[in-house]
Structure 1
C-alpha cells in the first residue's frame, strides 16, 4: 500500500459484517465449490475481484464487543480487557475513530448492533455522528425520514428525550442477570427482536449510508468547500439470529422450506428460543435442523449482499471509489452445529474466528490478490491509520487530542497489512485469538444445565494460536492441535490417543511444547501492554432506578 501525502488522504469506509463466516461468502470458495453451489455473495465477489482478499483473516475474539475493541485499538483482548458487557474500554487506548478525527477526518457511524451502538462501553469514542438502528428508539439522519422537515425536528426532539430514558434500561438488560434472564423468555423474544430492533434495520441503514456517500461526493467535488476526507464505520448484522430472510432468498437457498412443515416449525420455534442460540448442544442437530440453519443462514447472507450492492454502485457512480479505501471484515462468525456448538459464545474453531477480510483501494492495493498468510483483523487499526497518513512524526496539536505513544506510532507502520502485502509479514503468520466466555450468559445458563457447561468446558477461557497452517487451541489447561491444511474442519485433534501412537509422537510432543511456549510469550506480551489501572466496570443502576425508568417508558405500571 503506497503511502499518501496529506493532500491525497483517502476516504475510509469500514464495513463490518456482524456474524459473517468466511466460508459462506462465495468469493472464499474453491473453483470446485463454485461449480456446485449457488453463489451467496455476487456483489462482494465483484468487490473481491477488485480487492486484495485475505484467505485466513482471524478475529481476535469470538463475539462482538472484544472483537470490535481490538479492531478499534489494534490490541488483543488480553490487553484492552474489554471482554464483558459491563466493562468500558479504558481511555488509555486511543480508538481508530479518535485518531482519524484528530487527524482531520470527519467521522460517522451507521450501526445495527446494540452492543456497539447503545451499550456504554467506549466503542463510540471519536465519532462526531453515530446512528443507531438497533434498540427501542433508533436514530437516523433527518433525510431518512419521509416526513416534512418541521415534523422531523419535532420527532427528533421527542425521540431524543425518550432515548435518554431508554438507553440506561437497554444497557441494564445486557448487564443485569435478572433482566437478561427475563429477556430469554420465549414470550418476550418477539418484543425485543422485532419491536426493539435487536438486529437493527439493514435496509434502512444502507439507504442512509448511500445518501451520506452521495452528499460526501458532492461536497468533495465542490472546489469551494474544504476537501475533508471521511471515515465511515458501518455495522450490519443480517446473518445474526433470529432469521427472517425475505421469501425470494429463502426460495433460492431453501426451496423445500415452503412445503416442509417440520422445517418451518423448527425455525419458528428456534427463533424465539435465544437460549438455544448460545448454549452448547446436548446432542447433535438432526439432519433437517442442521440443513435448515445452514440454508437459512445462507439466505440471510445473500440478502445482505443484495443490499450491499447498492453501496458499491453508489461508490462507482459518484466517483468516490477512486479515492476511498474500502475495508470489508467480520467481527466473528457463527457456529451452526459444528463441534456440538451453535452461536458464538465459547469456542475458537474456524467457523467462529476465521472471517472475511477484503481491502480495496485503487492504485494502492493490488486487485485480485489472495493472501494465504494468517493475519489478525486487529491490524486494520494500523492499516487504516497508515493509509490516512498517520505516521510516527505526525503531530496532533488539538487541545483534546488523545495521547499516542511513540511505540504505537511506530507500530502503525510496522503492523500495517501493507507489510504483509509486500511479502514482509511482521508477525510471520503467527496470530492469536481469545474466547472469554460472556459472564452474564454463563450465569443465565448455569441455572439450567450446569453439568453440560462443565462437560464442554464453557467456564474456561479458550485461546487459539496460529502458526502457518498449524493451530493450537488451549482450553484452560487442555491443549488440542490441528493441521488446517489437511483438516480444515478441525475434526482430528493430533493430540488424540491415535495420533500419539504414531511414529511422529516424539516430534509432535516437541511441536506442542514450542507452540504452548509461544502462546505464553504472546500472552505475557499482551498483558505487559495493559494500562496500570484496572478495567473500568460500568455501574448498573439499582433495581429501584430501573423500575422507575421502565415505568416512565410505559413498560411497567
Structure 2
C-alpha cells in the first residue's frame, strides 16, 4: 500500500518536472535562436526558433529524465546548494567532501578517453549517426567506470577530509576550479593536430577554424532546462507545458513557408539552426530520396524518388525531374569541328618526342602569388618560373579540399565519377586508373617524392610509381593540423632523385606534393611577414617557394633539363574571412578554388592564358606531353578533361577559346555536396540541386552580390549546368 502511494506521488512529480525541464529548454531556445539569427542575418529569428524548438524539447526530456533519476525531479539551484553544503552532516557531508575532487580528476580522464575515441573515429572516417553511435558506445563504459571509481574512492576519501575539518563548499568550488584548470592545461599544452598521445589531443580545441558555437548553444538550452524549478501546482505545470510547446508553432511555419533566402542564410551562418534544419529535412523526407519538400528542401514531388532537385532532368520527356520548374529542352550538341581536332593534333606534333615531366602540386596554395600582383615577396622562384612559362591566370581546382581534389586531378575524372568510398580522405578502387599507371604502362619511368602520408599509404596515389621517396614525411601521422615543416627535406629528396641513373636513361614522370602551406601554419623566421594567420600562411608559402627554387635550380643543371617540362599547380586555395569562413573545404568560393597553374614546356613561347581552365584537364595534358594515347582499360575507364597542349602552343595573336568550368565536390562524411558551373562570367553554385548563389565574376569577382533572385538568369544557368552534368558518369553514393 505504501509503495503504491509512493508511485502515485512520484508520477505527478515526474510530470511536473518534465513540464519544468521542457519549459526551461524552450526558454533557452528563445535565447539560442536570437544568437543564431544574429549570425544568420535579419529576418531569420522565427525560422531559427522553429528549427531549434524540437531540439529544445528533446533536451528538456533528457534533462527531466536525469533530474528524476539523480535528483528526485528537483531543479538545479546552484546558490541554494552552496548555501546548504556546510550545514550537512554525517555521510552526506562526507560524500560532498570526497566525491567532487575525484569527479574532477576522473572527469578529465574521461574527457581525454572520449576525445581519443572521437579522434579515432574521425581518422577512420566514421560519420553521422554511426559516429554518434560509436561515440555513445565509447562514452557509456567510461562514464560507468568513472562513476564507480568516484563512488568507491569517495567513500574512503570523504571521512578523512571531514576529520581535517574541510568545508564542503570550499572543496566543491576548488574541484570545479581544478577541473577548469586541468582542462585549460590539456588544451594549451596539447597539439592542434591532436597528435602526440591521448593527453595532447585536446589541443585541437585551439584550432582557429573550430566552431564551438553550436555546442555552446546546446549547453545554454541544457542549463535552461536544469534551472527551472518543478511547480507545486497543476495549473502552473500546465502553463509551463504550454510555454514549452508554443515554439512548435514556429516549427510548423518553417516547415511550410521557410524562404529560400532565409534557409540559405541559416545553412551557411547559423551554427545550431543549420544542424537542426538538416535533421528536420531528413525526418520529413517522405520518399527517402535525400530531399524534403518541407523546410525549403525543394522537393517538388515528395512521393516520387525519381523527382527531386538532386535528379538530372531528361530533356524533352515532358517531366520536370530536377524541380527546376520546367522540362529542359533537348540540347543541341555541337561536335568538335574538323578544324579544332586538326589544330589539337597539330599541336601534339609540335612537341618533342622525348619530353620528361615534373609535376609539382602545392597544398592550399592560393592563386594570388607575386606574378599575379601580390606585393609581398612570397613566391620569387615561382614568379621567375612564370616568366618562362605559359601561365593560366584563371585556373580552377576541382574541389576545395584535398580528399576531393587530388584524386580527380590525377585520374582525369570528377569526384562524383570516382570510386573512392564515402570518405573524407578517399581511398580509390583499383578500378580507377591514375595517370602514372598509364605512363608506366607506356614505358615511362615514374617517381614520387612525398612528405604526407595520404600520397603513399594505400589510398591509390602510390599505384603506378616505380620509386616512392617518403623520407621527408613526419614519423607521427597527423590527420589534420600538422605543425611541422618538411619542404626542405622533400626538396633534398627530390634533388637526390635527379641524380639517379633511371632519370638519365629513360623518359620520366616525377610528382611531388608540398604540404606545408596547409594549416597549422608553422613560423619561419627567415620568412616572417607578421603574427596574423595570413602573415604566417604567407611565410609558409615563401618557405615552400624557397626550397622549390633549390630543386628547380638543380633541375636546370641536369643533363635532361632542356627536354623536361614543369607543371605547377595546387589542390585548392585558402580562405581568410572573405565569406565569413577560414581555412578551406565545404564551399566553392573563388578564394577556395582559384589556384595557380604554370606550365613550362621546352619550345613553348611564354605567355598568359586568360580563358578559364580546370584541373580536370591535367591528365589529358600530361598524356599529350608524353604522346601517350588514352586507351580505355574497361567500361568504366575514361577521362573527362580536355588537353591544354593547344593552349600551350597557340600563337599569341589567336584568342583562347572559353569553355565551361565545372567544380564537383561530391558529398562526404564531413561535407555536403557542392557543385559550381562557370559559363562565361556567370558562376552558379548548387547543393543537391538547390541553388546556393549566382554571381557575375566580371562585375563581382569577390562574390559579394548574389544574383539568384534573378530567376531568368538562374534558369539559364541551371539549364547549362544540366547540360554539363548529364555528361558525367557518377558512381552510386550512399543515401544522405
With normalisation by structure 2, the TM-score equals: 0.48
CA positional deviation for 1:135: 5.5
CA positional deviation for 1:114: 2.3
Q: Distance in 2 between matches of 1:349 and 1:234?
A: 26
Work out which of the residue numbers 59, 68, 72 in structure 1 matches 2:410: 72
1:433 corresponds to: 663
CA positional deviation for 1:78: 1.4
Q: Distance in 1 between matches of 2:517 and 2:351?
A: 38
> Where in structure 2 are the equivalents of 1:538-553 lying within 5 Å?
none
Gapped runs of 5+ residues in structure 2?
1-343
* 1:22 alignment partner, SS class: coil
1:379 corresponds to: 617
Residues 438, 112 of structure 1: alpha-carbon distance in 2 compared, 3 angstrom cutoff: farther
Q: Distance in 2 between matches of 1:334 and 1:113?
A: 19
1:272 corresponds to: none
Q: Is 39-48 or 518-527 further displaced after alignment? A: 518-527
The answer as to whether partners of 1:4 and 1:388 remain within 8 angstroms in 2 is: no
> Where in structure 2 are the equivalents of 1:332-343 lying within 5 Å?
332-343=572-583
CA positional deviation for 1:116: 2.3
Q: Distance in 2 between matches of 1:76 and 1:424?
A: 27
2:693 corresponds to: 480
CA positional deviation for 1:97: 0.5
Instruction: List per-residue Cα deviations over 1:396-424 (Å, max 9, x = no partner).
Output: xxxxxx82679948x78xx1102344368
Instruction: List per-residue Cα deviations over 1:70-116 (Å, max 9, x = no partner).
Output: 11111111111536236432333321000010111111111123222
Work out which of the residue numbers 208, 214, 227 in structure 1 matches 2:493: 208
Instruction: List per-residue Cα deviations over 1:431-471 (Å, max 9, x = no partner).
Output: 111234541xx3xxxxxxxxxxxxxxxx5322111112221
Work out which of the residue numbers 605, 611, 629 in structure 2 matches 1:391: 629
Work out which of the residue numbers 235, 238, 243 in structure 1 matches 2:521: 243
1:48 corresponds to: 386
The answer as to whether partners of 1:65 and 1:115 remain within 8 angstroms in 2 is: no
* 2:579 alignment partner, SS class: helix
Q: Distance in 1 between matches of 2:394 and 2:470?
A: 31
Work out which of the residue numbers 304, 309, 316 in structure 1 matches 2:544: 304
- The answer on 1:464 being equivalent to 2:676 is yes
2:450 corresponds to: 111
> Where in structure 2 are the equivalents of 1:94-105 lying within 5 Å?
94-105=433-444
2:712 corresponds to: 510
Q: Distance in 1 between matches of 2:508 and 2:733?
A: 31
> Where in structure 2 are the equivalents of 1:25-44 lying within 5 Å?
25-29=369-373, 37-44=375-382
1:418 corresponds to: 645
1:366 corresponds to: 605
2:463 corresponds to: 125
* 2:664 alignment partner, SS class: strand
Q: Distance in 1 between matches of 2:715 and 2:434?
A: 36
Q: How many residues align?
A: 383
The answer as to whether partners of 2:446 and 2:465 remain within 8 angstroms in 1 is: yes
The answer as to whether partners of 1:107 and 1:231 remain within 8 angstroms in 2 is: yes
1:330 corresponds to: 570
CA positional deviation for 1:310: 0.9
Residues 464, 245 of structure 1: alpha-carbon distance in 2 compared, 3 angstrom cutoff: same
Q: Distance in 1 between matches of 2:424 and 2:471?
A: 19
> Where in structure 2 are the equivalents of 1:149-188 lying within 5 Å?
none
Instruction: List per-residue Cα deviations over 1:293-332 (Å, max 9, x = no partner).
Output: 1111111111111111111111222243310110000011
Gapped runs of 5+ residues in structure 1?
139-169, 175-183, 221-226, 258-291, 395-401, 443-458, 501-507, 537-557
Q: Distance in 2 between matches of 1:75 and 1:425?
A: 23
CA positional deviation for 1:5: 9.4
Q: Distance in 2 between matches of 1:49 and 1:136?
A: 34
The answer as to whether partners of 2:455 and 2:462 remain within 8 angstroms in 1 is: yes
The answer as to whether partners of 1:78 and 1:523 remain within 8 angstroms in 2 is: no
2:363 corresponds to: 18
CA positional deviation for 1:246: 1.5
The answer as to whether partners of 2:527 and 2:543 remain within 8 angstroms in 1 is: yes
Work out which of the residue numbers 205, 208, 231 in structure 1 matches 2:509: 231
Q: Distance in 1 between matches of 2:496 and 2:469?
A: 13
The answer as to whether partners of 1:90 and 1:535 remain within 8 angstroms in 2 is: no
The answer as to whether partners of 1:345 and 1:437 remain within 8 angstroms in 2 is: no
With normalisation by structure 1, the TM-score equals: 0.63
The answer as to whether partners of 1:64 and 1:115 remain within 8 angstroms in 2 is: no
1:275 corresponds to: none
* 1:434 alignment partner, SS class: strand
The answer as to whether partners of 1:9 and 1:387 remain within 8 angstroms in 2 is: no
* 1:88 alignment partner, SS class: coil
Q: Distance in 2 between matches of 1:4 and 1:406?
A: 29
Q: Distance in 2 between matches of 1:213 and 1:73?
A: 25
* 1:512 alignment partner, SS class: helix
